[in-house]
Amino acid sequence: MQKEFQFQVLPEEAADQEALYKLASQKAYIPFSDIRHVEVLKRSIDARQRIIKVNLTVRVYVNEDFVETPTWLPDYPDVSSAEEVVIIGAGPAGLFAALRCIELGRKPIILERGKDVRDRRRDLKAINIDHIVNEDSNYCFGEGGAGTYSDGKLYTRSKKRGDVQRILKLLVGFGATKEILVEAHPHIGTNKLPEIITDIRECILAHGGVVKFNTRVTDILLKGDAIEGVTTASGDIIKAKKVILATGHSARDIFELLDRKKIAIELKPFALGVRVEHPQSLIDTIQYKCDDRGTYLPPAPYSIVKQVGSGTNTRGVYSFCMCPGGVIAPCATSPGEVVTNGWSPSKRDQPSANSGIVVELRPEDFKAFAKKGPLAAMAFQQSIEQMAWKEGGQTQRVPGQRLLDFTNGKLSADVPETSYKPGVTSVELGSVLPDFIYKTLQEGFREFGKAMKGYLTNEAVVHAPESRTSSPVRIPRDQETLEHIAVKGLYPCGEGAGYAGGIVSAAIDGEKCAEKAVGYVAEVVGE
């Protein structure tokens, strides 16, 4: 017999099978000797009270042996001679689109401008150490896309996006820990992601798909109102009737290409701000209300949102992509710009906690760039990244300011070393950020300081800018067919097209676009 129930335990109890048996026995009135196994189905930390508890949903096996469910992957057929679907971009959207194509009997041809995960490492080293940005291979471009050298957080704010659990199960099938199916806020970590991405690529190749690295798409070929193929930087023409465009939010050349070719795109407001780094121990103290988090609690995350300003000037300021025990990375995709983002290893064991703190933007914020039409938000984003590069010293050094100095508009006398490897230059960040963003962030941080005692400190360092939070452009598509509103056979997909915001939602969108491209119609269960 199996019994499922929920209870709260202390963190040390959650880590101890014997303790869980005892608790299950007491709470469910099951004789201890009848319990064969306690399987944890869901786990989350409740840090709202002084005594921190872990919420568990468990399944107790009573006089019944536990049989571990094997990891699952679909029964992928060989598609080497099947009809082709061209996929531009090997980020989560492109890779999951390719897997779904294979599952549904089509041959995916992935064209990726960057290198495979192993060779990509050299370019990450070059940007961190030598300040050299490779425009095709960096933290955003290359196999696995922006998701590879990331924190690998796997939760999505909107449950409406689709079947999150299916994506998590696929990731487990490709080698991710089963814990991601249990944790309320699962993450994988930069050290584990490349291996998973490699396994996905090997699966695609083993079943007859094609993956071409160092292959930047430079043109989209049309015949009337339908796609006919693409051209690559080396001049090759690849004919295709179905093209999934999953090039991510940083592929500015693709947005410019679409605009030049008069393939409709739209301005999309995004969020922009800074990335702040605190000692992890300080965040632990604030969040867990204790001096030391001990052995059983993970490095504490935080998530905060405040509305600041008044009337029509009210704006949301919020934490974005918070990385406990993580590192701030230089994420520029072109020389002459500075961009920050964050990652963490699977253990999140680095000494600092970093988070994007961003301000929501509106269409009217991009007025100064109106002549750029639908590319106005992108031009605004680019101008701030270029200003950061200039103020930081025209290398990958990032302009930075101590947090309290930032809120007081005061240049920091010095800025300590942070996890951002290329280095930090002390700059009064009002010279990098537009005034309305600077002031909104200052007010936002003051509000955060009231909600999280100790947060507003000069021990923390603000780095600017955090600017690639989501795409500054939307590529409009038909809600039903998911094809571009004016180009048959072209499927704008993932974060760059404006239909995802993170690894899991990009993967879900990749699957959806693949289904439409192959003409798959889901069976309706129960009719």
Query: Interface with ligand FAD by CB under 6 A: which residues?
Result: 88-94, 111-114, 139-142, 145-147, 150-153, 216-217, 246-248, 251, 254, 321, 329, 331, 341, 343, 494-496, 500, 502-503, 506
Chain mean position to CA 299: 19
Secondary structure letter of residue 299 according to DSSP: P
Q: Find, among 273, 258, 241, the residue nearest to 474 by Cα.
A: 258
Of 33 and 234, CB closest to ligand FAD: 234
How near is the Cβ of 9 to ligand FAD at its closest, in Å? 28
Nearer to ligand FAD, 139 or 445 (CB): 139
Q: Which residues are registered as beta bridge partners of 352? A: 279
Closer residue to ligand FAD in complex, CB, 440/471? 471
- Considering beta carbons, is residue 11 or 144 the nearer one to ligand FAD? 144
Q: Which residue from 353, 345, 346, 108 is spatially nearest to 246, judged by alpha carbons?
A: 108
Q: How far is the CB of 240 from ligand FAD (least distance, A)?
A: 13
Quick one: residue 189, left, alpha or beta (phi over 0 = left, psi -120 to 50 = alpha)?
left
Distance between CA atoms of residues 161 and 164, nearest Å:
8
Structure token pair of residue 118? 């192993």
Q: Which CB, 255 or 438, lies closer to ligand FAD?
A: 255
Q: Supply the minimum distance, in Å, between the C-beta of residue 315 and ligand FAD.
A: 23
- Helix, strand or coil for residue 98? helix
Rounded least distance, CB 320 to ligand FAD, Å: 10
Q: Where are the alpha helices (DSSP H) in 92-183?
A: 92-103, 117-125, 164-173
**How many Å apart are CA 16 and CA 298, to the nearest integer?**
15
Name the residue nearer to ligand FAD (CB basis): 44 or 214.
214
| Cβ atoms 389, 131 nearer than 8 A | no
301-336: string of b/e by CB count within 10 Å (b at 16+)?
bbebebebbeeeeebebbbbbbbbbbbbbbbbbbee
CA 477, distance to chain mean position in Å, is 22
Pick the closest to residue 138 from 287, 374, 339 (CA basis).
339
Taking the chain, what is the end-to-end CA distance rounded to the nearest angstrom? Answer: 32
Nearer to ligand FAD, 11 or 248 (CB): 248
Torsion of CA 100, 219, 252, 224, to 10 degrees: -80
Shortest separation between residue 510's beta carbon and ligand FAD, angstroms:
7
Nearer to ligand FAD, 37 or 153 (CB): 153
Shortest distance, CB of residue 376 to ligand FAD, whole angstroms? Answer: 21
Rounded CA-CA distance 81/436 in Å is 56
- Of 13 and 466, nearer to ligand FAD (C-beta) is 466
Measured from the CB atom, the residue of 202 and 459 that comes closer to ligand FAD is 202
